[in-house]
Structure 1
Amino acid sequence: MADLVTLAGRRIRLDDLRAKPEQFARVLAAAKASDKHGYCLCRPAAPLRLVIRRRGDRYHLARWPGEGQNHDSGCPFHAVDADLSGRSAYADSAILEGPDGTSIRFDTPLTSGTTATAARADTGDRDGGNTGSGRRAVGLLGLLHFLWEDANLNCFEPAQRHRNWASVVTAITRQSSDITLSRHPLADVLFTVPAYRNGLGETNIAAFDAFLARLRSADGQSRRGLLLAELKSVEATRYGHAYVLAHLPRARRAYIDARLHTKVLRSYDTAFTQAATDAGGRRIALLLIEASPKGYAQVVDAAVMLTGHTYIPADSSHELVMDTALRRAGRAFLKPLRWDHTTLTLPDFVLTDTPTSTVIEVWGMDSTEYEQRKAAKIATYTHTGTRLIGWRPPEPLPDLTLSAPPTTGGARRPWEDR
């Protein structure tokens, strides 16, 4: 029943509601006037409240603030538990959820003529020089991870094995309608490159060009916008590099100067390795851009995220291998995201189809510091009775099937403490 909702006493399939919202406008309005909210039936014994929001002349449903983690893991309104998200390391003022949507404080100005972005890019530090549990604003990588997490794109269910860029765009677009970024409606400052379809190529190009045109005001001053796309390739140009974006023609590339591109490579080196390419990795870029005098997209800052075939994020090429193995085994799982906090300790993957807490760790480098962190993780899992499945490449992958014998705490399999 994860796709059923109740509005004014009437059960409706969520897919039907989202596909044809105009047909359910009256029942949505009636539910908002009477009950003030709807209900999600993903847990029939205890229906969960849903916010009814209005944008223009249309109503839509959204998860109730602070209750997303109570939904079933396969429910469209599910939200990752705070303990499995980099969001937990921000001050409350950085991200505010309320009845009308989510408000995010962005750490970079959305107008030109300031030096904040350039100064931060010069550090080459993904944390933006403002780390710690009290971080009061969200950086570019944090925003990218927020979008992925808010849309449940870091979660995988076996039924989603055919997830493609079109479904990613739909999910991001739907979630963006309720978000403001530094008091700007996110839908106004974010352009998510649409999936290419026969007959819509010119329409998509026109939409991209119109977005760039809006970044230039009448007095010729540039505004900044956000461009979300899959990075197809990087090409050298006379003055730097060009980012070729999937689903758009090469004529609509985004341009970045050589110095900033070097810093992007240093900050997000894993996404650009040959090993990641060989493992079938995709590169998702969230670009802070301005429109050049000639109308091109000029990159001011960039965050790049490595993902697998179904757009599940990964921190290494070995995690891409594990992602593929989990999907082939028919497992449901999530990938915790660190946001702007590169040192935050989180599991590599968490299985969501087991009755007890189960994590997966892809063990990496041999160094004293790494071994200390690894030992601390294992001790925590043992203390909490969390089942641990570990893998150390290039050893054979462990048995990932749902029917594999369970283990908990200290009773680990041979590969679990390597």
Structure 2
Amino acid sequence: MKEEQIIKAYEDAKARYVALGVSVEAAVEKLKNLSISIHCWQADDVIGFENPDGELTGGIQTTGNFPGKARSIEELKKDLEKVFTLIPGKHRISLHAIYGDFGGKFVDRDKIEPKHFQSWIDWAKENDVKLDFNSTFFSHEKSSSGYTLSDFDPEIRKFWKDHLRQCRRIAAEIGRQQGDPCIHNIWIPDGEKDKTVSRIEHRRLLKESLDEVLAEKISTDYLKDCVECKLFGIGSESYVVGSHEFYMGYSIANNMTLTLDAGHFHPTETISDKLSSMLLFVPEINLHVSRPERWDSDHVVILNDELLAISQEIVRSGQMEKIHIGLDYFDASINRIGAYVIGIRSAQKAMLQALLEPTAKLREFEMQNKNFERMAFLEELKAMPWSDIYNYICYMLNVPVGDEYIKEIQNYENNVTSKRV
């Protein structure tokens, strides 16, 4: 698009929103300052760099074999740097513990240290991004029983408690060096495929394990711990120890951030409806925005109804500062950089639509019991020219406008990723 077309379309769109009482400038500024935590694992199919042979031992399922995945930290960083040039704003990178810089040597999970992530910290500073962190409780021989922090074997529990301790210390050091709290997410795959008798025993052990590790107090200036729930997984269809009810209770009892993943609930459940409840009881919420297709399949995020509903609830709550938006998906069947950019841009577009909503007017209709008017406005908003506002933001921040990013990704594939053999 030409410069004059972008600006004229923006001015026309702005006039229409102003007529509804919306401050477009305020919405644009909020979106520009919205940092999304971008997951590192889309570019390499959740392989990580723990094992020199680059093989997972189970626990995560990625489908597809599209050529060009990142095979090293250097390639992963290069891919992320390319992504930065195709999306507006300054964002965060979410690392898993298996993505450390281990120098080609095997370092077991209970022995990882901040030094193994120093190159990531330095890289983040050079690229003006912040880092978040995730403990990695899957893809390890000591998780093969289906249990980690809730295993009946005390030696297995000790190993994973030590891993969690090290992860918290790594995240805290990241937060100290970047001058901004590192969000550290705790998710475990514990559960069973079939009927389970010892449900309360495993959950009691999980509580004891978490209590023991989290007893080490670390300043929230550096570290923000959060716990992530799940309904079921492959191999844990019948029982998941860390259920929504477990972690909802745990986060409330410990005044702790709760992570809600869009793919971790029954297909008829939506996390958009859970936000307004949890905000009343927990200090902050961490979101893993994903797209389930029939199960927790972590499809690439697209601009669908649930993504928009999540964004609307974030904005309508008036507590955006308490909600951290992160992405969690991986697709090895398509261009991985393209998957990144589609997902990030979709999340931004949904947030922009929510920010451009005349919420005060809609609430006024509710107070007056004018539900027809509320419905009519909500329907008309769907056809408003929000995309012209988004294109203008991209133009102002010097990133591709509209579909221009597609050619950029194709060129990167031709010149970079296609040569990885």
Structure ranking higher in strand proportion: 1
Q: TM-score, normalized by length of structure 2?
A: 0.32
Q: TM-score, normalized by length of structure 1?
A: 0.32
Return the structure number with greater relative CO, CA threshold 8 A, min gap 6: 2
Structure ranking higher in helix proportion: 2
